[in-house]
């Protein structure tokens, strides 16, 4: 049974407030309406599209926190960050990311998302990738959402930090990388 428009819009607004990264497709399923109806409801309620909501949250929370590179240089949208601990970013694979012949994502986009997240998680003004060991587990197609999760495995002497990044599509591992990062200052702390 469909909800009246006013009630649907009230519930839509609440749902987006509690889950700001929910997609229009997921909302359409939840409210049993078309994606176009969700988009019209969002427009009437002045709720921006998902990409703009993610950017807004990222700029509000992490613009001053990310030290090693400008937030705009991160490939994907950072949705969680704790310096020298962990970070998460989202990359929606669109036409610009894929080979035109088969709609498969170019590997350098997945690498760039992971590498820039490994740089962003470093609590230093300068972080450079010294070494990367990467593995692609499966192809990623246009329209899929890649969630990259980085965590600092170790902070070592001689200005080195080891970061592990794993990228998933619907909880399926599609990419993994081990990054040795050089930082400009000697590490004050070491992970236990």
Q: List, for residues 142-190, the tens digit of each pLDDT value.
A: 999 999 999 999 988 778 999 999 999 999 999 999 999 998 876 555 4
Domain residues for the domain of 14 are 5-47
Residues 19 and 58 in one domain: no
Cα separation, 38 vs 44, in Å, equals 10
Cα separation, 141 vs 99, in Å, equals 10
Domain of 38, CATH number, reads 1.10.10.10
Tally the domains of the chain.
2
- Helix orientation angle between 24-31 and 5-18, rounded to the nearest 10 degrees: 130
What pTM does this model have? 0.67
Residues 96 and 169 in one domain: yes
**Contact 120/179 with Cβ under 8 angstroms?**
no
Residues 28 and 94 in one domain: no
**Contact 65/89 with Cβ under 8 angstroms?**
no
Please write the tens of the pLDDT for every residue from 36-92.
999 999 989 888 887 777 666 555 554 446 665 666 678 888 888 888 899 999 999
Neighbours of 31 (CB within 10 A): 18
Domain of 114, CATH number, reads 3.10.129.10
């Amino acid at each position: 049974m469909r909800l009246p428009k006013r009630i649907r819009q009230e519930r839509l607004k609440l749902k987006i407030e509690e889950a700001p990264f929910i997609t229009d497709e997921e909302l359409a399923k939840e409210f049993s309406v078309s994606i176009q109806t969700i988009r019209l409801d969002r427009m009437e309620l002045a709720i921006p599209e998902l990409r703009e909501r993610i950017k807004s949250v990222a700029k509000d929370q992490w613009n001053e926190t990310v030290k090693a590179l400008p937030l705009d240089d991160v490939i994907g949208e950072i949705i969680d960050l704790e310096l020298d601990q962990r970070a998460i970013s989202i990359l929606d694979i669109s036409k610009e990311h894929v080979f035109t012949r088969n709609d498969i994502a170019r590997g350098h986009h997945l690498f760039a998302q992971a590498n820039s997240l490994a740089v962003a998680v470093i609590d230093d003004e300068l972080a450079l990738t010294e070494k990367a060991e990467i593995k692609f587990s499966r192809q990623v197609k246009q329209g899929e959402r890649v969630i990259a999760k980085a965590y600092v495995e170790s902070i070592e002497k001689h200005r080195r930090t080891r970061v592990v990044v794993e990228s998933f599509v619907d909880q399926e591992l599609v990419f993994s990388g081990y990054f040795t990062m050089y930082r400009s200052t000697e590490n004050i702390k070491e992970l236990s």
